[in-house]
Structure 1
Amino acid sequence: MACSNNNINALNYSPLFNTLKNGTALPSPFEVNGHHYERGYYLGDGIYPDWAMLVKAPHNPTDEPRKKFKRFQECARKDIERAFGVLQENNSFVIGWREERMIQRNPLQRLEKNLRDQDARIKEIRDKQLHKQLEADLTKHIWDLSPYFRNA
């Protein structure tokens, strides 16, 4: 539908990923299950695409590790939503951004390089294989945490 601004369309234009796309995001490397990841991730629900930066709870898990991962992910997402709600109620939440301008000797050449770099970063953000690997690593990590959490 023309002019539709649903969650998927809004995600493509969201400032949330602008710093990742333009290469100014702060580094947030982490390691889980022996795999190194360069970027952090966001918790999402089932309506979002399988992007490397979005971790969703499995839709219909069949095995115990994935069921446990779904419970943990949903609880963490609800905690974040509640905290965000409190910040909004108290007018404590501020969204900010910065714009950097650079003077270039050859602006066209720099623009071409920036567009190539941005295309590579967008491809990384939308990497479905990386999404699946991260989800598998986080599922195993939560399952392996402790026998105490096995009943959670």
Structure 2
Amino acid sequence: MPTEDQDAPSSGRYEGREHVLPVRIYYEDTDFTGVVYHANYLRYFERGRSDALRAAGVSHTDLLSGDRPTAFTVVRMEIDFRRPARIDDALQVRTLYDRIRGPRMFIQQRLLRGREVICEAQVEAACIDLSGRPARPSPRLLERLAPILSGTV
């Protein structure tokens, strides 16, 4: 009989500091030509960032229920669309949490089909408190992210 963990959806895996999340393109992701609608790339990148945190031991639920409840918000994103993704493609969202400076996190993301780059994003996210104000990440969060960061300030 499968255990609960075996039934859970995959959060991907780490290859060194880079998180890899497999993504399949379904009909619902595409326009009438079978090409992925541009806004869906944002969804894939969001899943990549969330699952990278989850795989590093950071739970959004725990962040919200801690002594100093915090969350993340994207404050800037630069996207370069290189090639179209199409229905039935098997892709990888590759996420690299690069560094933290104060409340800001700098993240690099790529969407790949094999070795072919489909889309790239440079993301700046901020840690915020529940009133929406910038908040420094908790020591526990920094500890969990330390192995995957190139540096913190």
Shorter-chain TM-score: what band? under 0.3
Larger radius of gyration: 1
Higher relative contact order, chain-length normalized (CA < 8 Å, sep 6+) = 1
The structure that is helix-richer by fraction is 1
TM-score (ref. length: structure 1): 0.26
TM-score (ref. length: structure 2): 0.26
The structure that is strand-richer by fraction is 2
